[in-house]
Structure 1
Amino acid sequence: MTARTRRFTGRFHAPRSLRKQLLVTSLLILSGLLILIGTLQYVLMRNFIYSNRAEAMETQIRSVPFEIFNNAGNRRPGGDRRPLLLDAHTTLAIYNQDGGFMDLKEETLSASPAPRMSNEAYDQLLKLPQDKRGGNYQLITAGDGSGHLAVFMNLGRPGAARMLLQMTVETGPLRDVILQQLLIFGALSVAALLAGLLLYLPTLRKTLVPLSNMGRSAQIIDAGNLNVRFPEEQGQLEIDQLSQSFNGMLERLEISFKNEREAKEQMRRFAADASHELRTPLTSIYGFLEVLLRGAADNREQLYSALSSMHGEAKRINKLVEDLLLLARMDGAPRLQVKQVLLGELIDDMQAQLRVLAGERQVVFDLAYGIRCLVDPDQIRQVLLNLFHNAVQHTDAVKGIIHISLHAAGELAELTVKDNGSGISAEHLPHVFDRFYRSDSSRTRKYGGSGLGLSITRSIAEAHHGEVTVSSAPGEGAAFKVSLPCLRD
């Protein structure tokens, strides 16, 4: 049974088109409302017509001559009597308290006999006060199945037998009037539905145009084409808000995909550069080992020279690995051991070490003391060493001058390392903080640089909610400035 029901209902799928769904739903709602209105109209019209007819019948029943009731029991065949001028569908009858029922069909010339209720129903009406019987009506079903509208009047007098006068009229003509009105209402409702349908279809089509536009835009959008945007001003507030939300999501997705592509490209370059940087010293070490294996180990001078070179290359590898590990930690969740530090005093303690690294170069310090910052002191030392080492690499060993300055600028502490080296050309400036980027690879390799020092410097500065910038011109040296938040006294 269930399978049959599913097969039967499966043939009648709900329309999948939103336009058709809205149209069918609207028609069903309007049809339901019209049916409800028609039902209420039928009930109200029926009560109104029956009530009006009952009031007219009460007026008629009061105008019936009383002598008809007195002579009703003394009928004689062929006797002269004046019939009542009533409708052919109207009947009169008398019910007395003894259970007798007299049909006054001859007096009314009615086309049908008077319908009769049960004696219990009549007795209940006789028990009612006279003023309670007026203004009400009852529906009676005759023996032939026809319906009748009945009103009653008490004929009893004080001291006399109580009688009840019944006047009825067939409800068929009244129902015909009601049905005629309902048919008119139904025809007008169908016409209204058709007219509404003709007017509603263009409006519905126009209303769904923004959704169609969004659908076409969505078909164009894919992972490689995220620059398409939904139209945001189509005249419908809800659709416009939805378009704005989707556009915001697409913008975030586009940025995410762009960052992912850049990250993949950076990772590819990083892997390639790291492999190259590791391969170079390993190749040198391998070459020296081959030389030693061929007999150079027996020559003390050649052995010492080879071991010294291999030691230098091993130091380069060790430095490169340490820098890579530090960058990996900074790229993830850097763990800084921050505390309040006086930057001027920290740099002042490093003067001796920096002068040793500078060799014969001139080092000038311009430090403002008392600048307090919340930093990791070891990381800040690393930043200064990286910048100073970079300045040493790009300045003359004798004529080189390196300026180190520290000053407060509002809520920032600005540490600047400036040199009088060869400078950096404009095309290299945007890339100086990229990993493994070297504007002069031969000079950097000579001094053992890995191309990661400036990248590490930027990562450390950003981890402290600061930044590092560079300004330079060819032949005028370079100035690297690190800005860090400082604490107010």
Structure 2
Amino acid sequence: MKKLLIFKEKSLKWQLLRRMFLLLVCFLVILEIFQYFFLKQYLIRTREQLLESRISNVCHIVDTTNSENTLKKNLFFILKNSIYFNTSASVIDKDGNTLLSFTNNKSSIPDTPPSKVSPDGPKLSPYEYKLILKRQGNLDGYSLIKNKHGDLQITIWRKIGKLNSPSGLIQLSTPFSSVSPLLYKQLYIYILACTLILILSIIIGGSLIKHTLTPLFNITDTLKDITIGDLNKRLPENNNQIEINQLSNAFNTMFSGIESSFNREKQLKKQMQQFVSDASHELRTPLTSIRGFVEVLLMGSYKDEKKLKFALNTILTENNRLTELVNNLLTLTRLDKGIYTEMVKQNMKNIIEEIYPQLKILASNRQLILNIHDNNTYFLGNKNQIKQVIFNIVQNSINYTDPENGIITISLYTENNFLVLKLSDNGVGISEEDLAHIFDRFFRSEVHRSRASGGCGLGLSIAKSIIEGHSGEISAKSTLRHGTSFYIKLKIL
């Protein structure tokens, strides 16, 4: 089991090198098999061609000899002078009987025909020779036939006389073992060459594989350096290797997502801590005020009617502030959970006209101007929530504009496929630095810190959550001492 685990944990470089080695071995073995058989056929064919040249000379002499008696007397000498060393010759009559058979396997051949058939050459039965005589044509090609010793012989035949009615056969053969030394020598050389090739392939292939895997090793080193606290590192995306580039791109995309999620989590954690801190502060202030006045009343101030009335009014005011704060927090909680009331087809002009009288009362002596350029455009939304957005923004404008000279303008128009609601004022304005945080919960800029202005810093956060729940956009532009404008965009139906 341990050996198997070690085998499975081999490095990629080792696995590639091993597979390349096995593939090369298989290729060389297959190549040697083909080479062996091709060389074998070539050597046999060479021996066959040599036999054919000799037997062609014999057949030519036989065909030009007119006297049959002379042919029988001289046939041995004709064959003797025609064959080379280590070649067997036989003459077969038309009945398949062997008339003459000898082998040139020594430095000289007997001067007279041998009395016995040579055991070195192949000898077929009379029936088999008759079948050969009956074949059509001149018996081209060769056959591998064993002799009495079981040794393979490269054998060819030629007919004597007419092709259709031959008077016999001439058979020449040479041992197949005559080509074996060349085959074995070639095999030995090939094995040595293959061994050298395999050794060089391991050395060179290992170096090439290491060089090829260098980008992967670099990726591994970079990944080891990346920690949760340092997610801004990225892998190189130009490694001159498509697959490695794709891997780097995938890792970089993953790390970007992780970094974004991690930063978002840090931001949410920070916001939550700030939220808890601000909420605690906002709750503690009215509670402290209520407690202080209750303690004063318990000390006997309730006997003074003016002080009693002032204390009770203050307690009621702080209670209203607490109620508003809790309601706002509950609203934000519902919005954060994605709890939205039913949305139906709405007309923004009608909503503005419905709440205009209430806004006019809130504005008091300030000018409240309506500038509506759209009458029949509809959007999908919730009327009460849109009213709350308008109330929150207008209330924000009322808090930070002059009570006598303040001007609040509500404009409605279309832009591309969006309905745009613009709420602007000529109040104190917001600095560029604070403008990026006005939708944060409990945020109030330095010029808005006075509690006399009212509010607890949740109105704009609620407005933003509601608009985003309507798949819309809300933004603001402001200049110090020149006022602020809020822009709400909702998609037109």
Settle same-fold status: TM greater than 0.5. yes
Q: Which of 416, 419, 423 is matched with 1:417 structurally?
A: 423
The verdict on how the C-alpha distance between 1:162 and 1:283 changes in structure 2, with shifts beyond 3 A counting, is farther
CA contact (8 A) 2:371 2:410 kept: yes
Alignment map for 1:6-25 (pairs within 5 Å): 10=4, 13=7, 16-25=10-19
Query: Counterpart amino acid of 2:317?
Result: G
Structure 2 SS opposite 1:105: strand
Structure 2 SS opposite 1:418: strand
Percent identical: 30
CA contact (8 A) 1:387 1:454 kept: yes
TM superposition shift of 1:196? 5.1
Q: Which of 18, 31, 47 is matched with 2:41 structurally?
A: 47
1:383 aligns with 2:377: no
CA contact (8 A) 1:93 1:165 kept: yes
Deviation per residue, 1:91-136 (Å, 9 max, x gap): 2345668785566237855997324456388357446415263312
Structure 2 SS opposite 1:13: helix
CA contact (8 A) 2:346 2:383 kept: yes
Structure 2 SS opposite 1:167: strand
1:208 aligns with 2:213: yes
The corresponding residue for 1:223 is 228
TM superposition shift of 1:18? 2.8
Alignment map for 1:345-356 (pairs within 5 Å): 345-356=350-361
> Partners in 2 of 1:349 and 1:28 — Cα distance?
85
Structure 2 SS opposite 1:150: strand
TM superposition shift of 1:388? 1.6
The corresponding residue for 1:271 is 276
The verdict on how the C-alpha distance between 1:127 and 1:418 changes in structure 2, with shifts beyond 3 A counting, is same
The corresponding residue for 1:104 is 101
> Partners in 1 of 2:161 and 2:282 — Cα distance?
129
The verdict on how the C-alpha distance between 1:43 and 1:26 changes in structure 2, with shifts beyond 3 A counting, is same
> Partners in 2 of 1:324 and 1:102 — Cα distance?
125
The corresponding residue for 1:92 is 89
Mean Cα displacement is larger for which, 16-25 or 260-269? 16-25
CA contact (8 A) 2:89 2:171 kept: yes
Structure 1 SS opposite 2:489: strand
CA contact (8 A) 1:273 1:436 kept: yes
The corresponding residue for 2:66 is none
Mean Cα displacement is larger for which, 296-305 or 347-356? 296-305
Mark the runs of 5 or more structure 1 residues left unpaired by the alignment.
Answer: 1-5
CA contact (8 A) 1:46 1:178 kept: yes
Query: Counterpart amino acid of 1:134?
Result: D
The corresponding residue for 1:472 is 478
Q: Which of 312, 327, 331 is matched with 1:326 structurally?
A: 331
The corresponding residue for 2:451 is 445
The corresponding residue for 1:3 is none
Query: Counterpart amino acid of 1:92?
Result: A
Query: Counterpart amino acid of 1:328?
Result: T
Mean Cα displacement is larger for which, 252-261 or 409-418? 409-418
Structure 2 SS opposite 1:104: strand
CA contact (8 A) 1:406 1:413 kept: no
Structure 2 SS opposite 1:131: coil
CA contact (8 A) 2:340 2:469 kept: no
Q: Which of 258, 264, 288 is matched with 1:259 structurally?
A: 264
CA contact (8 A) 2:336 2:465 kept: yes
> Partners in 2 of 1:356 and 1:81 — Cα distance?
143
Aligned length: 474
TM superposition shift of 1:167? 2.6
1:242 aligns with 2:236: no
Structure 1 SS opposite 2:476: strand
Structure 2 SS opposite 1:370: coil
> Partners in 1 of 2:103 and 2:30 — Cα distance?
45
> Partners in 2 of 1:268 and 1:192 — Cα distance?
69
> Partners in 2 of 1:409 and 1:81 — Cα distance?
119
Deviation per residue, 1:414-472 (Å, 9 max, x gap): 43333343333444222222100122598663354121001112222333343333333
1:358 aligns with 2:379: no
The verdict on how the C-alpha distance between 1:132 and 1:331 changes in structure 2, with shifts beyond 3 A counting, is farther
> Partners in 1 of 2:243 and 2:91 — Cα distance?
73
CA contact (8 A) 1:156 1:162 kept: yes
> Partners in 2 of 1:282 and 1:132 — Cα distance?
127
The corresponding residue for 2:413 is 408
1:36 aligns with 2:30: yes
> Partners in 2 of 1:425 and 1:82 — Cα distance?
123
Mean Cα displacement is larger for which, 361-370 or 375-384? 361-370
Query: Counterpart amino acid of 2:336?
Result: D
The verdict on how the C-alpha distance between 1:239 and 1:420 changes in structure 2, with shifts beyond 3 A counting, is same
The verdict on how the C-alpha distance between 1:472 and 1:52 changes in structure 2, with shifts beyond 3 A counting, is closer
Mean Cα displacement is larger for which, 249-258 or 63-72? 63-72
> Partners in 2 of 1:442 and 1:199 — Cα distance?
75
Deviation per residue, 1:150-186 (Å, 9 max, x gap): 2234458899997554332122221112222333444
Deviation per residue, 1:44-68 (Å, 9 max, x gap): 1211221231232234235447679
1:429 aligns with 2:429: no
Provide the aligned C-alpha RMSD in A.
4.0
TM superposition shift of 1:291? 5.2
1:27 aligns with 2:21: yes
Query: Counterpart amino acid of 1:40?
Result: F
CA contact (8 A) 2:133 2:159 kept: no
The verdict on how the C-alpha distance between 1:465 and 1:341 changes in structure 2, with shifts beyond 3 A counting, is same
Deviation per residue, 1:22-77 (Å, 9 max, x gap): 3332232223222211111111121122123123223423544767994699x9xx
Mark the runs of 5 or more structure 2 residues left unpaired by the alignment.
Answer: 63-68
Structure 1 SS opposite 2:427: coil
> Partners in 1 of 2:486 and 2:220 — Cα distance?
51
CA contact (8 A) 2:474 2:487 kept: yes
Query: Counterpart amino acid of 1:385?
Result: F
Mean Cα displacement is larger for which, 286-295 or 247-256? 286-295
The corresponding residue for 1:149 is 154
CA contact (8 A) 1:148 1:170 kept: yes
CA contact (8 A) 1:404 1:415 kept: no
Structure 2 SS opposite 1:234: coil
